[in-house]
Each structure stands twice: as C-alpha cells, then as structure tokens.
C-alpha cells in the first residue's frame, strides 16, 4: 500500500487549518490534526493565566476517520473554529485491516496513522511509501486508546488492552516508535469502550473514560507518572450503554477544553463538550449527524 505525503506547516500565533489529502488508491497521513493557535486571550491554544501571560499548555483537535464496509477509509478533517469539514477519501483496500489509531507523535500537526494487518502493526507517516513495520504480535490486543502524554515524558503515548483484559502502556518517541510496554493493570475486560484524549479535569494530566456493560461511564484521572498512570476510577454517570463507539478527539469546539464524541447504536453521532471539571466533565450533548453506522471502524 502506498502512502501519500501530507505534512502541515504550523505557525504559532495564528490559526492554522488542516488540509485533507485524498488519494486514488493511496493512504493520506498527516492531515488529521490541527493545533489551535491564537493570541493569549483567544484561549483556543494557550490557556491564559490571571496575570495575562500564556501558559505552556495547548489543545489539539483531531479529525474523525472511519472505514466503511468496502474497505475505504474516509477522513473528516477538523476545522480550526470547531467541528469537522466534509469527508475526503483517504485510503482504499483496507478491508483486511483489523485495527487503526493515530498519534501526532512529535507534538506537531503531522499525524502518524497506525494500521494493523493480522498480527503486524504498520505506521504511515507524512512521507510517501508503504509504511514502516512497528512490530509483530499486535493481534493480542482488542482495544487501542491514544490519550496523549500520560507517562510524563515528551510525547503522546498509547494504551492497548489484551485479550486477557490487561491494559498496557507504550511510551512513544517523536519518530512514532514505541518503548517497551509497561503494565497498567488487569480487569479491563469489564469495559465495552475505553476512550479519551487530553486533560478532562483541569489538573494538567490526560485522563481516560471507560464504559462498562451496565452502561456506567467511569473516569480514570491521570497522574503523569508512567509507573502508575491513573488513580482509582470515579463514576461519571449511567445510561451510556446506548453507545457502541466513543472517541476522544481533542478540543473539538476550540474552547480550550477536551471533549468526547459518541456514536449511538442507530448511527447517530453526538458531541459532548468538555467542561474541564472533574465533578461534571461534560456539558449537554449536541447531535452531530446520523448515518455513522456506515463505518465499521471509527477512530
């Protein structure tokens, strides 16, 4: 499979749009992320302290990607003002793929796309080519989550749950490769969905969400320590069993807080705006659209 180049230039202090790179038989990568950049009081990229100085934190928004039953991959690129743009075909011939996730490995607007074929995981970056083999044996995992930098190092990380229900953490490098895995804990097979990207509680550490079979949504607050990345879970609420896919795609309304996207079993997609508060992490949901059950893999 060939991969189309799709690098983005990023200029701080201005708003930068992500371009979508479609390709005929090619897989476009590097077009799924936008760093919201604005002057201090815009609060779309840099949180502003009471003194008026820009803090070091920034927020990201990612596109929605979905594979349809024919094996075609579609990308809905993010708008810097919030929301998503019209879909663009970004890949074909992916019917045999068994897993997808994406990471902006170098903390830039260039996104690495990872695809699992059988037991092999391949990375597709922002240059043309057939991808890079990350490793083999990845068929032991049945869930992938890319929550951001949970380990306290320099770059975003990966969580993967194996078939026994053990959750593992992979610290990453700027080149998109991963360090040796670290065990987070067992018992994660009680969850139907695990999702999240970024700090949902305002303490500076990325958090994750998990929905159990009873439809209860739980939050695991991040610690920033890769040896023990989460504290004990806290209940967010009940009634979430109507959703068959949950996605953490960053700050999708450009308000400086991280959000959640959830697909209901009838294909209706909802947006839950983040509040940045641990006690009530999301505001009232908003319907994005219908027909999203056309995708058999959404990420």
Task: Write down the domain spans for the chain.
Answer: 2-298
| pLDDT at res. 127 | 54
DSSP E strands: which ranges in 151-274?
157-162, 167-170, 182-185, 191-195, 208-212, 217-220, 234-237, 243-247, 260-264, 269-272
Indicate the average pLDDT of the chain.
Answer: 82
| pLDDT at res. 33 | 43
Separation in Å, CA 67 to CA 166, 217, 241, 293: 27, 26, 23, 10
pLDDT band at 19 (very low <50, low <70, confident <90, very high): very low
Max mean pLDDT among 3-12, 31-40, 43-52, 208-217 falls in 208-217
Q: Tens digit of pLDDT for each residue in 222-259?
A: 999 999 999 999 999 999 999 999 999 999 999 999 99
What is the topology classification, in CATH, of domain 2-298? Tachylectin-2; Chain A (2.115.10)
Residue 1 has pLDDT above 80, yes or no: no
Please indicate whether residue 200 or residue 53 has the higher confidence score (pLDDT): 200
| pLDDT at res. 126 | 62
Is residue 184 within 8 Å of residue 167, measured between CB atoms? yes
Is residue 295 within 8 Å of residue 68, measured between CB atoms? yes
Length, in residues, of the chain: 299
Is residue 105 within 8 Å of residue 175, measured between CB atoms? yes
Percent of the chain with pLDDT over 70: 80
| pLDDT at res. 153 | 86
Instruction: Tell me the longest C-alpha to C-alpha distance in the chain.
Output: 54
| pLDDT at res. 130 | 74
pLDDT mean over 251-273 = 97
Beta bridge partners of 211: 193, 217
Q: Take residue 161 and report the two structure tokens written for it.
A: 């749950």
Q: Quote the DSSP letter at residue 106.
A: T
pLDDT mean over 270-289 = 97
- Report the alpha-carbon distance of residue 231 to residue 89 in Å, rounded: 40
Q: Tens digit of pLDDT for each residue in 44-80?
A: 222 222 222 222 347 899 999 999 999 999 999 999 8
- Report the alpha-carbon distance of residue 29 to residue 13 in Å, rounded: 25
Query: Residue 52: which region, alpha, beta or left (left: phi > 0; alpha: psi -120 to 50)?
Result: left
Q: Quote the DSSP letter at residue 69.
A: T
Token look-up 């997808």 returns 100
pLDDT mean over 88-102 = 94
């Amino acid at each position: 499979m060939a991969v189309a180049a799709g690098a983005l230039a990023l200029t701080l202090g201005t708003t930068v749009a992500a371009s979508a790179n479609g390709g005929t038989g090619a897989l476009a990568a590097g077009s799924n992320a936008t760093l919201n950049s604005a002057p201090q009081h815009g609060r779309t990229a840099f949180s502003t302290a009471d003194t008026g100085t820009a803090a070091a934190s920034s927020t990201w928004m990612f596109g929605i990607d979905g594979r349809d039953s024919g094996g075609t991959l579609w990308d809905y690129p993010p708008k810097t003002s919030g929301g998503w743009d019209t879909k663009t075909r970004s890949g074909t011939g992916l019917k045999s793929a068994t897993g997808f996730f994406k990471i902006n490995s170098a903390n830039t607007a260039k996104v690495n796309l990872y695809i699992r074929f059988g037991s092999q995981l391949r990375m597709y970056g922002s240059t043309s080519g057939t991808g890079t083999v990350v490793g083999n044996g990845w068929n032991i995992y049945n869930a992938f989550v890319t929550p951001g930098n949970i380990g306290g190092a320099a770059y975003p990380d990966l969580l993967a749950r194996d078939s026994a229900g053990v959750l593992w953490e992979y610290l990453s490098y700027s080149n998109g490769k991963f360090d040796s895995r670290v065990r987070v804990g067992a018992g994660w097979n009680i969850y139907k969905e695990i999702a999240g990207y970024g700090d949902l509680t305002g303490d500076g550490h990325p958090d994750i969400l998990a929905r159990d079979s009873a439809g209860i949504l739980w939050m695991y607050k991040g610690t920033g320590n890769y040896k023990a990345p989460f504290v004990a879970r806290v209940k967010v609420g009940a009634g979430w069993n109507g959703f068959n896919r949950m996605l953490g795609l960053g700050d999708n309304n450009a308000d400086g807080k991280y959000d959640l996207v959830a697909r209901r079993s009838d294909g209706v997609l909802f947006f839950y705006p983040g509040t940045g508060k641990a006690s009530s992490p999301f505001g009232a949901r908003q319907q994005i659209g219908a027909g999203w059950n056309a995708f058999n893999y959404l990420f």
